Amino acid sequence: MDFSALILLSIGLSLDSFAVSISCGLMRKQISFLQAFKLAFFLALFQASMPVIGWLGGIGIKQWIDPVGHWVAFGLLSIIGIKMIIDSRKDESEKSLNPLDLKYILGLSFATSIDALAVGVSFAIIEVNMLLAFIIIGFITFVSSMLGIRLGKGSSCAVRKRMEVLGGCILIAIGIKILIQHFTF
């Protein structure tokens, strides 16, 4: 795989993390740089690591993950999306979902990176520099996630509640997209 194809693939893989980051930025008025860094770091780490895991496992892991991976991603994203929609009706102090909680971050990171696992399985068939792929996918996902958090965080309070509903709907839509892609391809 040439460099430009790897860049385009990395951008495509980072879009789910970008959307999730916008949603997380919308959920909290105050997100420090360190908190944003933590979220972006885990999203990027999972997004970059899953292709390596898929590549290492090759076809064998595809048989193991394929039957359930799409359902796991759909379930996690839908539950978090529904919770965001419910929390959008509450005052900031009443919200129980914390997008900066490590369990939440790990769940989102895993759910948004399952498609990257499948990409890694395909890497086992074609010639790919896996170290370069890991670095590029991780870097692009990290940058897009930091940008997404900033965009979400920059919304006004009036827009924030509406956008939080939209963010929840986006997470659910990403889960549905994963299901549709699984059943149509």
What is the spatial distance between Cα 180 and Cα 151, in angstroms, rounded to a whole number? 28
What is the spatial distance between Cα 34 and Cα 39, in angstroms, rounded to a whole number? 9
Give the per-residue pLDDT at 95: 53
- Contact at 8 Å (CB) between 144 and 17? yes
Give 10-residue mean pLDDT values along the chain (185 residues).
85 86 81 93 97 81 67 76 75 61 89 82 79 97 95 72 72 80 76
**60-65 — which CB contacts under 8 Å span 24+ positions?**
61/117, 61/121, 62/118, 62/121, 65/114, 65/117, 65/118
Residue 31's domain comprises 3-184
pTM of the model: 0.71
Domain count, the chain: 1
Give the per-residue pLDDT at 24: 86
Residues 99, 37, 6, 2: what is their CA dihedral angle, to the nearest 10 degrees?
-170
